[in-house]
Structure 1
Amino acid sequence: MGPLIPNGVIPFEWNFVIAILIGIVFGYILESSGFSSSRKLAGLFYGYDFVVLKVFFTAAIVSLIGIYYMDYLGLINVGQLYIHPTYLYGAIGGGIIMGIGFVMGGFCPGTSLCAVAIGKIDAMAYGLGIMIGVLIFSEFFSFLEPYFDGAYLGHITLVDSLGVNPYWFIFLFTVTAVILFFLVDMIRKRVKKVFY
């Protein structure tokens, strides 16, 4: 049956309408979770608040289990799902730049837009920085393109890269998350004892 648009269950013209609705719901969830606060987001890097890590690990696990369970039931064909192509050099460079920006500003691009929507001035400055960065990148794209398109690995997933059964990967990923949740709770308690 799924994915719905490629299989003609939902007309292609609805693609952007659905994307906008998902974006609105995602923004609402970010705001109601407190992710429009740069202090909460930066707390991950300073060891006093691990809500971001827990939420995104939980979302990844629920998505993985849901997708493969629906594949098992025949409701979704995992082979038809779009996988963004991997350009290794661009991913590494972008990850470094995004990571530095995340630590310095306390926002990722999505959470910064969420904070802009509720009128946070620091997020507006961060959003302006994103736009300046996009402008610089677009102006120098011809120079950066060989790096941007370098080390093309195709439409691969982590499961493909590791060569493991997806169900074993989901199980090990879940176990890792549970252990990580336990460890970060221990770190948070120690940091709170030092700083509070």
Structure 2
Amino acid sequence: MGPLIPNELIPAEWNFVLAILIGMAFGYIMEASGFSSSRKLVGVFYGYDFAVLKVFFTATIVALIGLNYMDYLNWIDLTQLFVQPTYLWAAVVGGFIMGIGFLAGGFCPGTSLCAVAIGKIDGIVFTLGLFIGILIFSESFSWIQPLYEEYNFGHVTLDKTLGISPYLIIFIFTIIAILAFYISDSIRNRVKKVFY
């Protein structure tokens, strides 16, 4: 068992159809969660709204548990799932640049497109900046390629790197999520007392 298209359970032509449907569902969930609002997104940095933290932690835990449970039941084969290679310096520099952009503009790439879909001007401006950044990156890639490809660790996963069970990692992440929810609620309550 495993992914549907590589195992020819459904035709390859469905690839883009499924991608569009999943993308639309993801966009709807982000909009329903309020992620088209830059004020809601940056609230995590100022301590007045932790919806972003809670939604993404919940999504991560559900995906971890769901994929491993389906693998346990032999519904899928986790070895067939693609793991993005880890390029250390590309991740560090890219994460730094994206973090600055997130703080300055109040959006990440996905949420900016969500804001564009409902006609928000700040989302449109941010997305234009995003495409300018993509253009600069692609045009200067030959110059930054050595930095981009340096320290390629390959397909890294926590369980193999640390040599522990994936189920233990799921348990640890679940505990971290519960603690993060508790701490974020405590911070939000203190900030509300100060500002309200």
TM-score by length of 2: 0.97
Give the whole-Å Cα distance in 2 for the aligned partners of 1:24 and 1:161: 35
After TM superposition, give the deviation of residue 16 of structure 1 in Å: 1.5
Give the alignment's Cα RMSD to 1 decimal.
0.9
Does the residue aligned with 1:82 lie in a helix, a strand or coil? coil
Give unmatched runs, 5+ long, in structure 2. Answer: none
After TM superposition, give the deviation of residue 26 of structure 1 in Å: 0.5
The corresponding residue for 1:76 is 76
After TM superposition, give the deviation of residue 14 of structure 1 in Å: 1.4
Taking every aligned residue pair, what percent have the same amino acid on both sides?
A: 65
Give the whole-Å Cα distance in 1 for the aligned partners of 2:120 and 2:148: 32
Superposed, which structure 2 residues align to 1:26-45 within 5 Å? Answer: 26-45=26-45
Question: In the alignment, is residue 186 of structure 1 matched against residue 174 of structure 2?
Answer: no
Report the residue type matching 1:180 in the other structure.
A
After TM superposition, give the deviation of residue 195 of structure 1 in Å: 1.4
After TM superposition, give the deviation of residue 50 of structure 1 in Å: 0.3
The corresponding residue for 1:168 is 168
After TM superposition, give the deviation of residue 160 of structure 1 in Å: 2.3
TM-score by length of 1: 0.97
Question: In the alignment, is residue 123 of structure 1 matched against residue 123 of structure 2?
Answer: yes
Aligned length: 196
Question: In the alignment, is residue 94 of structure 1 matched against residue 84 of structure 2?
Answer: no
After TM superposition, give the deviation of residue 13 of structure 1 in Å: 2.0
Superposed, which structure 2 residues align to 1:7-22 within 5 Å? Answer: 7-22=7-22
Give unmatched runs, 5+ long, in structure 1. Answer: none
| Stretch deviating more after TM superposition (3-12 or 164-173) | 3-12
Does the residue aligned with 1:153 lie in a helix, a strand or coil? strand
Report the residue type matching 2:134 in the other structure.
V
Does the residue aligned with 1:83 lie in a helix, a strand or coil? coil
Give the whole-Å Cα distance in 2 for the aligned partners of 1:12 and 1:133: 32
After TM superposition, give the deviation of residue 172 of structure 1 in Å: 0.8
Report the residue type matching 1:45 in the other structure.
F
The corresponding residue for 1:51 is 51
Give the whole-Å Cα distance in 2 for the aligned partners of 1:138 and 1:50: 34
After TM superposition, give the deviation of residue 161 of structure 1 in Å: 2.3
Does the residue aligned with 1:11 lie in a helix, a strand or coil? coil
Give the whole-Å Cα distance in 2 for the aligned partners of 1:16 and 1:151: 33
Give the whole-Å Cα distance in 2 for the aligned partners of 1:53 and 1:163: 28
| Stretch deviating more after TM superposition (153-162 or 94-103) | 153-162
